[in-house]
């Protein structure tokens, strides 16, 4: 069992606003912030240029021992599914990193880019978990779909559980699905 009170856990949501289920990460951050967390937990909206997120992490690189990032990504999976996996920070082709940096500095906000760039600059905690939501609806909208709402509640439950028990997960996109 891991004791969070002696470490600092980053819960980071990524997503554009007003994009229906694609705003899963940003909406979840708002809900997590409304909850009480132990002193070792930081809830952050990291929905901005990943290079700037890296600048923030670089200012205090030892601040977080663990990180859990979450957001919606369209990967063609079952709509409404959740995938949870351990992020492995090696083996990413340089061309992919370069593309991600170019997109980041020109304004793209992306969970995937954040993970790739963070890995390249070795700024993510070694223990980084990712929770991806496969959107049901990706049209304009202020709220989540009914399925998205249900999954948000589940993720909050998972995150609460992470305080006392580490996830049983796969790696990079092949994690446990709900």
Partner 1 sequence: MCFKNLPVDFDAEGRPFLRDDVPNPYAVAQAPDTNGGVKTLTRDQIEDLLQRNGHIETKNFDPVTRVAGALAFHTVVDNQARKVIEARSVATLFRGYEVIMMGRDPRDAIFITSRACGVCGGVHSTAAALAIEMACGVKPPPLGTVVRNLLLAIEYLYDNPLHLFLLAGPDYSEAIVSKTNPELYRRAESTPAPHSNVHGYSTIADIMKDLNPLEGSLYLEALGMTRVAREAYVLIGGKYPHPQTIVPGGISATISLTTLNEIYLRIQKFFDYGKRVAAIYDDICDFFYDADPRYRDVGRTSANLIDLGQWDDEDAYDATYENCAEWGERRWATPGVIIDGKQVTTNLQHINLGLEEFVEHSFYEDWAGDEMRFKTDPLGAPLSPYHPWNKSTKPRPQASNWREKYTWATSPRWDRQAMDAEASARLWNTAIAQKIPSNPYIEATGHSLKMLVPAGRLPEMELEWKVPDVWNAFERNRGRAYCVSYTSMVALNLWSRAVELMKSGQTAVSTKFEVPKRGTQLGVGFWGAGRGYLSHHLELNDGVVTNYQIITPSTINASPHDPWETPGKYEEAVLNTPILETGSGAYQGIDVLRAIRSFDPCMPCTTHIHSDSGVLTREINTCACGVD
Interface contacts to partner 1, rule CB under 8 A: 49, 51-52, 55, 73-76, 88, 90-92, 94-99, 101-103, 105-108, 110, 112-113, 115, 120, 172-174
- Calpha distance 131→157 (Å, rounded): 13
CB of 156 to partner 1, least distance (A): 24
Q: Which is nearer to partner 1, 8 or 114 (CB)?
A: 114
CB of 7 to partner 1, least distance (A): 26
CB of 142 to partner 1, least distance (A): 16
Q: Where are the beta strands (DSSP E) in the chain?
A: 9-14, 41-45, 66-72, 82-86, 127-133, 170-171, 176-177
Q: Which residue has the tokens 């991600």?
A: 100
Q: Which is nearer to partner 1, 41 or 113 (CB)?
A: 113
- Calpha distance 42→39 (Å, rounded): 8
CB of 5 to partner 1, least distance (A): 32
| Strand partners for 130 | 69, 85
């Amino acid at each position: 069992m891991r004791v969070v009170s002696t470490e600092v856990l980053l819960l980071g949501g990524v997503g554009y606003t007003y994009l229906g289920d694609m705003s899963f990460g940003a909406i979840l951050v708002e809900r997590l912030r409304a909850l009480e967390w132990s002193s070792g937990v930081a809830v952050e909206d990291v929905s901005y240029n990943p290079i700037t997120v890296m600048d923030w992490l670089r200012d205090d690189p030892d601040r977080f021992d663990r990180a859990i990032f979450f957001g919606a990504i369209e990967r063609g999976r079952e709509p409404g599914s959740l995938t949870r996996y351990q992020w492995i920070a090696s083996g990413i082709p340089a061309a992919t990193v370069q593309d991600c940096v170019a997109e980041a500095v020109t304004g793209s906000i992306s969970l995937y880019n954040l993970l790739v760039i963070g890995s390249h600059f070795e700024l993510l905690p070694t223990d980084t978990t990712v929770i991806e939501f496969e959107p049901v609806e990706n049209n304009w909208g202020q709220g989540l779909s009914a399925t998205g709402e249900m999954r948000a509640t589940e993720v909050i439950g998972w995150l609460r559980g992470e305080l006392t028990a580490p996830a049983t997960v796969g790696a990079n996109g092949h994690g446990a699905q709900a």
